[in-house]
Chains A and B, each alone.
Chain A
Amino acid sequence: MTLSQATTGRAKRQVKTATLVGVDVYIITEDGIPAFDEYGAFKIEFVSNRGTKVWPGYVSPDLMLVNWYRCRFMATRTVTDAEVDGFLSALTKKWKWSAAQKLWNYGDEAGYSKAY
């Protein structure tokens, strides 16, 4: 095989329209499972710890928790990147967070995993 053969004709992934639908925010707290206020168009959907959902619903008392929670906030309407900035600014007033990941749908498909 030649270099030319190796580098031509590569498959491209079908491009789908990306729609901003929410934000995962990684909160650091020593005070247990965080509970959230309303943040405009961003509504808390679940909180997970080490990938296991710890809110809402049943949490085994045996579950080992660390001080780092993934908190999924879904948009209740169409939102902009600027609104995400505003949401994170509001969140910062109360919570220490390590990272935020915007959630997009690609076409009709969610571009993010659910928690176990």
Chain B
Amino acid sequence: MEDFIKMGKHVITMLPGEGTGPEICEAVRSVIDHSGVDIVWEYEEIGLDCLKEHGTLLPEKTIKSIAKNKIAIKGPTTTPVGTGHKSANVTLRKMFDLYANVRPVKLIPVLKRPWDKIDILSFRENTEDSYAAIEHMVSDEVAQCLKVITWPGSVRIAEFAFKWARANNRKKIQCVHKANIMKMTDGLFLEAFREVAKKNPDIETGDIIVDNCSMQLVRNPGQFDCLVLPNLYGDILSDLCAGLVGGLGFAPGANIGDNCSIFEAVHGSAPKYAGMKKVNPSAVLLSGVMMLRWLNEKAAADRIQKGFDKVLAEGKHLTYDAGGTASTDEFAAAIVRAMETV
């Protein structure tokens, strides 16, 4: 097995997740494997299904695989609400310090939307803010959560955003904040952004208060290019952006650290559809395209993207959420066929 693994150009940890995750990830794998890229997949477990067997959402074997390969692609998992175990997603981000959550959204022609242009790239700080897991019941009727914003954490997400934006020929970055009210925490985030912006004069910069940003996104999303946000605003507004173009089914994401990256869709595991092979694998597939670009496998990434665009433009093999009747596998197979002709 070790020798076999060494034959692959890239060894990638595959985390199918739960619910519809495994069938989505199989469809995605079939497309990526036909793209011409040389990958050996290491399958590992994650999520609620692991609890029964391993007593944890994130088994040690999975952690070791990601630590070794330094790159993973992940299907959806379920996060318990209000009580119970901590999110496997957040645990991974913390453990591997995946500080940059990158989420692009673009208009998809087949999904009719009331705007002419949406092409937004959001950079969400992924490890701090109210996700620092510092919560207390300070009396029997008062709960508090510490919002932790640090200078080095804010600087590195801003620097990352400028580098990514420049590499992708983006023109403008806006820092999203609520520094008019949270003058220390969001104020520090904004101060760090402005400091980094001074060193990147080739890219236009600005800042916008999060509530105004929300309103502007809904009214005129075409005005936005790149957004840099603290964790909580990034969590919310990146979903809002996904909703603008048709929902989470088409919203890819990347969680990137200095030495490890995990690519994942941000939608849920849709357990009620598990095994029915009807859900849209696009979000994980497009996350896979992001992963291939990160690995500098541009030709394979372009091939998949063109095949994907062609299938959507033709509109004959769409999943139910895009108005079609194709199964998960049929949609993936159509992309594979399209890749052979583009």
Interface residues of A (CB under 8 A from B): 13, 15-16, 18, 24, 48, 50-52, 60, 62-64, 66, 70, 101, 103-104, 106, 111-116
Judge whether B202 is part of the interface by a CB distance below 8 angstroms. Answer: no
Q: Are A18 and B140 within 8 A (Cβ)?
A: yes
Q: Mark B32-68, 1 if CB is under 8 A from A, else 0.
A: 0000000000000000000000000000000000010
Chain B interface size, under 10 / 10 to 19 / 20 to 34 / 35 or more: 20 to 34
Q: Tell me which residues across on chain B come within 8 A of A115, comparing CB atoms.
A: 133
Determine the distance from Cα of A15 to Cα of B151 in the docked complex, in whole angstroms. Answer: 40
Q: Tell me which residues across on chain B come within 8 A of A50, comparing CB atoms.
A: 127-128, 132, 148, 150, 153
Q: Tell me which residues across on chain B come within 8 A of A114, comparing CB atoms.
A: 86, 133
Q: Which 5 A-B pairs have the closest CB atoms?
A: A51-B132, A111-B137, A116-B94, A113-B135, A51-B133
Judge whether B333 is part of the interface by a CB distance below 8 angstroms. Answer: no
Q: Are A13 and B94 within 8 A (Cβ)?
A: no
Determine the distance from Cα of A115 to Cα of B97 in the docked complex, in whole angstroms. Answer: 14
Question: B84 to chain A: closest CB distance in Å?
Answer: 12
Q: Are A101 and B148 within 8 A (Cβ)?
A: no
Q: Are A66 and B138 within 8 A (Cβ)?
A: no
Q: A13-B141, A48-B134, A51-B133 are in contact. List 15 more A-B contacts (CB 8 A).
A: A50-B128, A50-B148, A51-B94, A51-B132, A52-B94, A52-B95, A60-B95, A60-B96, A60-B97, A64-B97, A66-B151, A103-B136, A106-B137, A113-B134, A114-B133
Judge whether B257 is part of the interface by a CB distance below 8 angstroms. Answer: yes
Judge whether B258 is part of the interface by a CB distance below 8 angstroms. Answer: yes
Question: B222 to chain A: closest CB distance in Å?
Answer: 35
Smallest Cβ-Cβ distance to B156: which chain A residue: A64
Q: With A50-B132, A51-B132, A113-B134 as given contacts, are A62 and B259 in contact (CB-CB < 8 Å)? A: yes
Q: Are B137 and A112 within 8 A (Cβ)?
A: yes
Q: B140: which of A16, A64, A101 is its contact (CB, 8 Å)? A: A16
Q: Tell me which residues across on chain A come within 8 A of B140, comparing CB atoms.
A: 13, 15-16, 18, 106
Q: With A50-B148, A60-B97 as given contacts, are A116 and B133 in contact (CB-CB < 8 Å)? A: yes
Determine the distance from Cα of A106 to Cα of B139 in the docked complex, in whole angstroms. Answer: 9
Q: With A50-B150, A62-B257, A66-B152 as given contacts, are A101 and B132 in contact (CB-CB < 8 Å)? A: no
